[in-house]
Amino acid sequence: DAGVIQSPRHEVTEMGQEVTLRCKPISGHNSLFWYRQTMMRGLELLIYFNNNVPIDDSGMPEDRFSAKMPNASFSTLKIQPSEPRDSAVYFCASSLRINSPLHFGNGTRLTVT
Amino acid sequence: TQLLEQSPQFLSIQEGENLTVYCNSSSVFSSLQWYRQEPGEGPVLLVTVVTGGEVKKLKRLTFQFGDARKDSSLHITAAQPGDTGLYLCAGEARDDKIIFGKGTRLHILP
């Protein structure tokens, strides 16, 4: 079991640039979640998928954020254009089913200057 | 909106001491999970509690789910430096989403 794999681990970019974060969930897991973590707000759910279909994106802060899951083994979270307030650690997690315990990746630390 | 409040936010104690951290809400949750997160890593599940009043033990860690399924506690006996980390509680909300508290940052001094 390789666990949830996220890339890159660190991303530093300038304001206005496009950022794409990637996630490979655990094989056989049907649900995938994108969270953002900051000191001020803790872990916030951005969006989650079940069987590759987006179920709830109410946590996505703005239209600048978008997420896709083209197949069961890959998801992306894109920010375009990025802003300094997007700086945070972004986590991807997967689970067997919607309400099963979550398995997290090690996150992508995003810094927007 | 269902919220989970964790207390204390920060706790620093000496090795060997006992401690309890809390997770409270005004809402009922179907289940509640506890995770530990270490620097540079994602949260890792410690336990899930489902039944009101349920108590689960994991070595020196004791987890309890409140009778009304609105709150939970984590008690650590004889804390060790290896227990240092961010402890997060997470609840399964009405719409099946897992929402997190902001966590208790625990530091055990050797």
- pLDDT at position A12 over 80: yes
> If you average pLDDT over residues B70-96, what whole number do you get?
93
Q: Which of A42, A48, A98 sits opposite B103 (nearest CB)?
A: A42
The residue with tokens 């666990």 is: A3
Question: What pLDDT, in 10s, does the model give residues B3-47?
Answer: 899 999 999 999 999 999 999 999 899 899 999 999 999 999 999
Altogether, the residues listed in chain B come to a count of 110
Residue of B nearest to A108 (CA): B40
CB contact under 8 A, A106 and B45: no
More confident residue, A68 or A2: A68
3-state secondary structure (DSSP) of residue A28: coil
User: Which of B98, B100, B102, B105 should be substituted to probe chain A, the one whose Cβ sees the most A Cβ atoms within 10 Å?
Assistant: B98
Q: Determine whether the interchain pair A99/B30 forms a contact, defined as Cβ–Cβ distance below 8 Å.
A: yes
β strands within chain B, DSSP E: 5-7, 10-14, 19-24, 32-37, 44-49, 55-58, 61-65, 71-76, 85-92, 98-100, 104-109
Are A86 and A93 spatial neighbours (Cβ–Cβ below 8 Å)? no
Q: Which of these ranges, A10-19, A74-83, A97-106, B71-80, has the smallest mean pLDDT? A: A97-106
Q: How far is B28 from chain A (nearest CA, A)?
A: 15
pLDDT in tens, B38-75: 999 999 999 999 999 999 999 999 999 999 999 999 99
